[in-house]
């Protein structure tokens, strides 16, 4: 089994950029970035329960990491960078720490949470995610999304931006989203910080200037923070050109 994915710029003889979207997203949301990073070959992936991987399920982050490895092997990709947003960033970090990371050249994480320190925090988060999952399974998805994008992490969104996101993402399958939300919950994720700090890999933690929560998190966990000016949590969507410039510059530091 492997994930639905698409290749771009495969003629370029460089390590691949493997793009991992967030919850409710799909691989295609990265296409503007792929075009701005066209000197690199890119693989955009639809995560389980999303896009053309709607019928794929994983039971936890470890199984997700194995599925990522199987997908890369099937696509004959042996050298790659992981670029992940939010849930995709958590998957990327977990894969780097605990997956089969042979061939992984480096890590670019946008607004991904490296974990919760205490078991009580994890239990609380898992309960919260189960509640959201129950809503995604049982209620009209537009109604759930309307509340989802009122969460504090999305507070920088203007009403029109919020409505655009709801319009784009109401096509999601509620059951698929619910399963992924529950099975890869932050409440089930290990505390990755000590392992991340020991990684002998290039690593940058990208965060919107207005995303105060994740900036503080990165500083508290001593992650290699770089901010994108004038944007919030979803920096790559809010200012694609600025995000691409940071990605290209970071890769150039390693002769990629």
Average pLDDT of the chain, as a whole number: 95
Quick: pLDDT tens for 141-150.
999 999 999 9
Quick: pLDDT tens for 87-133.
999 999 999 999 999 999 999 999 999 999 999 999 999 999 999 99
- For residue 40 the two structure tokens come to 């690199």
Quick: pLDDT tens for 51-94.
999 999 999 999 999 999 999 999 999 999 999 999 999 999 99
pLDDT band at 153; cut points 50, 70, 90: confident
Quick: pLDDT tens for 235-244.
999 999 999 9
Domains in the chain with CATH codes: 5-116+189-253 (3.40.50.1820)
pLDDT band at 256; cut points 50, 70, 90: low
Edge to edge, the sheet with strand 80-85 lists: 5-8, 42-45, 16-20, 80-85, 104-110, 203-208, 225-228
């Amino acid at each position: 089994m492997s994930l639905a994915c698409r290749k771009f710029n495969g003629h370029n003889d460089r390590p691949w950029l493997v793009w991992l979207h967030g919850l409710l997203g799909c691989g295609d949301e990265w296409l503007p970035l792929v075009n701005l990073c066209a000197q690199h070959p890119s693989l955009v992936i639809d995560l389980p329960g999303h896009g053309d991987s709607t019928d794929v399920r994983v039971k936890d982050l470890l199984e997700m990491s194995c599925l990522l490895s199987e997908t890369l092997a099937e696509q004959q990709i042996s050298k790659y960078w992981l670029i992940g947003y939010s849930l995709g960033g958590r998957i990327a970090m977990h894969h780097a720490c605990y997956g089969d990371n042979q061939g992984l050249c480096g890590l670019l994480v946008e607004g991904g949470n490296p974990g919760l320190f205490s078991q009580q925090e994890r239990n609380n988060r898992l309960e919260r995610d189960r509640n959201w999952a129950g809503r995604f399974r049982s209620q009209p998805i537009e109604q759930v999304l309307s509340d989802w994008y009122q969460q504090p992490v999305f507070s920088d969104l203007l009403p029109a931006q919020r409505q655009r996101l709801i319009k784009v993402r109401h096509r999601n399958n509620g059951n698929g989203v619910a399963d992924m939300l529950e099975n890869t919950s932050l409440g089930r994720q290990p505390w990755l910080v000590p392992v991340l700090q020991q990684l002998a890999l290039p690593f940058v933690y990208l965060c919107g200037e207005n995303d105060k929560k994740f900036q503080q998190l990165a500083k508290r966990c001593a992650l290699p923070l770089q901010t994108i000016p004038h944007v919030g949590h979803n920096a790559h969507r809010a200012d694609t050109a600025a995000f691409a410039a940071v990605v290209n510059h970071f890769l150039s530091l390693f002769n990629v």
